[in-house]
Amino acid sequence: MFDIISIGDPTIDTFLIVKDVEIKEINGQKKALINWGDKLPVDQFYRTVAGNAANNAVGSARLGLVTGFYCVVAHDTGGREIVHKMEKEGVSARYIIKNDKHPTNASTVLSHDGERTIFVYHEHRHYKLPEFAHSKWVYLTSMGVGFEKIYKDLARYLDRYKVKLGFNPGTFQLRAGPKANAEMLKRTDLLSVNVEEAQSWVGEHGRDPELLCKHLMKLGVKAVALTDGRKGAYSYSNDGFYYIEEYPGPRIEATGAGDSFTTAYIAALAHGLSHKDALRWGPMNAGSVVQQVGPQAGLLTKKEMEGQLKKLKQFQVVEITEENNEKLKEMVSKKKD
């Protein structure tokens, strides 16, 4: 039996930490300006196993969950690195499928001043869900074209074993829209998205977190974790509506912040904690990850998480009520993106 099985595409990430880039805001969006044709100096170079599901698998194992990982890789250097990394971290590799027709996915991360842009390369995959052993949770996240082919089998598995589903949709799932993901959404115990991703599915709603969460709940999900970058994060469920600020620490490199947040949030639920408690776990993990380069180096162990929670007693969740809602919105709006 597993506590959680992660489903999604892994990748090999190459990080380029670059200072010689100018960032400007154009039409409300931040743009990186470089001189085309120049040779830009790279201040740091780093290569690691990554991908939303791989980050979740490693993070879940460190947080004390018995973890499996379903993905498709090739018999190449990248594929061997991924298998080795999972085994080293205590993640079961029994559902890692090897296919020689297509190479292992790869991404290049351009990082500047704690933020990043990712150049993503996804190989076409022929997904076929293995016969999973019983798991308490499944974590479904970023997959390439053809992701929907596993949905029918996954739905049967979730229903048969009454498995809880954490859903953090990736680029292709988000672009396909809620209708293409309906079979999963109506079985989702926790949907984790950021504000922009929520807007892409349910409309603008003035970036109002409560309206976004309410409209996401109408898609059939039982609870929503909504992140808003440096402005903080929200939890919306039958337990209540809660807010927490960004973790109070330095930010070296932001790749994997969202994955680490959701990983810790679900791990807290898997350990029997409430959504309110889970909303403290998420930023703690993310705050540790952004202090190092790459999405996995800073992932906390369960012991480290519990130590951080005790140490930062002032870092607490705020319940959002009719009385404090407008005041909280005003406070959050003043925080920098």
Assigned token pair, 191: 């949907």
Would you list the domain boundaries of the chain? 2-333
pLDDT of residue 37: 86
CB atoms < 10 A from the CB of 173, how many?
23
pLDDT of residue 219: 97
pLDDT of residue 178: 97
Q: Measured between alpha carbons, how far is 121 from 144 in angstroms, rounded to an integer?
A: 10
Residue 253 is given by DSSP the state B
Q: Measured between alpha carbons, how far is 128 from 239 in angstroms, rounded to an integer?
A: 36
pLDDT of residue 205: 65
Domain 2-333 CATH (choose: 1.10.390.10, 3.40.50.150, 3.40.1190.20, 1.20.140.10): 3.40.1190.20
Q: Measured between alpha carbons, how far is 330 from 135 in angstroms, rounded to an integer?
A: 42
Half-sphere exposure (Cβ direction) of 289: Cα atoms closer than 13 Å: 29
CB 119, CB 107: distance < 8 Å: yes
With CA atoms as reference, report the closest residue to 312 among 289, 286, 336, 280.
280
Distant-in-sequence, close-in-space partners of 99: CB < 8 Å, separation ≥ 6 = 72, 73, 74, 125, 126
| Number of helical (H) and strand (E) elements in the chain, helices listed first | 11, 16
Taking only the tens of pLDDT, the chain with its 337 residues reads 999 999 999 999 898 888 888 888 888 788 888 888 888 889 888 888 999 999 999 999 999 999 999 999 988 899 999 999 999 999 999 999 998 878 888 888 888 887 788 888 777 778 899 999 999 999 999 998 889 999 999 999 999 999 999 999 999 999 999 999 999 999 999 999 999 999 999 987 668 999 999 999 999 999 999 999 999 999 999 999 999 999 988 888 888 899 999 999 999 999 999 999 999 999 999 999 999 988 899 999 999 999 999 999 999 999 999 999 999 999 998 887 6
Q: Measured between alpha carbons, how far is 284 from 264 in angstroms, rounded to an integer?
A: 8
In the block, tokens 């990712």 appear at: 118
CB-based burial of residue 264 (10 Å sphere; 0-12 exposed, 13-18 middle, 19+ buried)? buried
